[in-house]
Structures are given as C-alpha cells and as structure tokens.
C-alpha cells in the first residue's frame, strides 16, 4: 500500500529536503506541500493524505493549531510534528492534541521514513531526544499523580511501559527484556488497553506524569 504524505514547513529548502528523503521510500508518495498552517489545513482537507508531516513553528497558524483543527475533522490524517525543540516552547502541548509522532529536524532520514510508516499503520514514533529533553522537562514541573489504572499492570507490563517511555522501539524492548517481538507487541497493546491510551505518544505522557519514569533517568538502560 502506498502512503500518501503531505509536508508542511514554512522553509522551502526544508520541504524540498523532506520530500527528497520521503520519496526514497518506494511506499511513500508526497502528494502535496504547505508553507504555513492555513495552507496545511486547506491542502490536507483537499488531498486527504494518510499522513501529514508538519512543523510546529509556522506563520499565520502554527502546527499545533493546525493539528488541533484537523484532528477535530471526521476523518483526520495521522500527524507527525517536526521540531527543533530548543525553540518550540509549546511542544509539550502537542502531546495532548493527539498527534502520532515527533521528529527532530536533525533526525536521520531512515527515522523519518520509519515515523511515516508507523503513523500510517496506527502506531506512533517519538524521537528519543524529544522524549528525554522535552517531554521529561515539562512532565516534572508538577508532582507525579499516580492513577489507579497503573495498579492493573503486571510487573512485565510496567517494565515495558518504562522502556517504551524512554524511546525504545518494540525490537529494542524485546532485546532489552530477552523476549520475542510478537510478545512485546502483545504487551504494548495490553498496556495501552489497560491504561485507556490510544498510542505510544499518550503512553509517554502517562509514564512521566505518573512518575513511572522521571527526568534525569537514562534514555536507554544498560
């Protein structure tokens, strides 16, 4: 299946570079571009792509505002936010918006394609640097609140949640715990179901706000 992708960024050179990277994947077709949030709304609603790759900081309407409007539509696309994280003070607000991933503009090309594929399949991908340096930063501004749903997790599921929140992919979690990929997929699905979460993005927020992981902890355990 071909993934239809729209790219939204106010810098033409950035859009060109993202298009170049995306089109190296045989299953990704860049069907449109936008230079600001208002254009992103119009182009996305007209072309109905599977995935929208969108910068947070854009003129007229920023990426966060555009994402909120699009996700209120009956059949919204999957949305991946692009960030420089040093300048995107509102990045943490995007976590509650319902987007399907976060990437740094400095992320390697293969990670961009992986994020697009993950979003298209209903999963989510967060750049580990965003996970630790931004999400942890905002989450620890408040005392952790332990929700009762956390007690429903088994010890193994809690381990999976911790590793997931630190930015590890399913194969990396499987390797860390010494179990198979299929088993990890099952554990992740059960964690999301028990906690009433939609995807990995919401799981990261939950883990930090519940105190399951905290700022300053290593991204990848030894």
Structural domains for the chain = 3-126 (3.40.50.2300), 144-209 (1.10.10.10)
Q: Starting at the earlier edge strand, list the strands of the sheet with 3-8.
A: 28-34, 3-8, 51-55, 78-83, 101-104, 125-126
User: The pTM is what?
Assistant: 0.73
Predicted confidence at residue 85, as pLDDT, reads 65
Instruction: Provide the pLDDT for residue 50.
Output: 97
Give 10-residue mean pLDDT values along the chain (222 residues): 96 95 96 97 97 93 92 92 69 69 86 90 74 57 77 95 84 91 92 88 81 59 34
* pLDDT tens profile 54-81: 998 899 999 989 999 999 999 999 999 9
């Amino acid at each position: 299946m071909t993934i239809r992708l729209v790219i939204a960024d106010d810098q033409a050179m950035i859009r060109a570079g993202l298009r170049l990277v995306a089109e190296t994947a045989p299953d990704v077709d860049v069907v449109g571009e936008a230079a600001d949030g208002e254009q992103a709304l119009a182009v996305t609603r007209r072309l109905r792509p599977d995935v929208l790759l969108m910068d947070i900081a854009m003129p007229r309407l920023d990426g966060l505002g555009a994402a909120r409007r699009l996700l209120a539509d009956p059949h919204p696309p999957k949305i991946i936010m692009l960030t420089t994280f040093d300048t995107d003070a509102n990045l943490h607000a995007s976590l509650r918006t319902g987007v399907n991933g976060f990437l740094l503009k400095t992320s390697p090309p293969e990670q961009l394609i992986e994020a697009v594929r993950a979003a298209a399949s209903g999963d989510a991908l967060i750049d580990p640097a965003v996970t630790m340096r931004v999400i942890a930063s905002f989450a620890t501004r408040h005392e952790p609140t332990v929700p009762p749903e956390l007690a429903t997790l088994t010890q193994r599921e809690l381990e999976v949640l911790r590793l997931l929140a630190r930015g590890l992919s399913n194969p990396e979690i499987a390797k860390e715990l010494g179990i198979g990929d299929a088993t990890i997929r099952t554990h992740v699905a059960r964690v999301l179901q028990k906690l009433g979460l939609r995807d990995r993005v919401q799981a990261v927020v939950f883990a930090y706000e519940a105190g399951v992981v905290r700022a300053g902890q290593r991204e990848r355990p030894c």
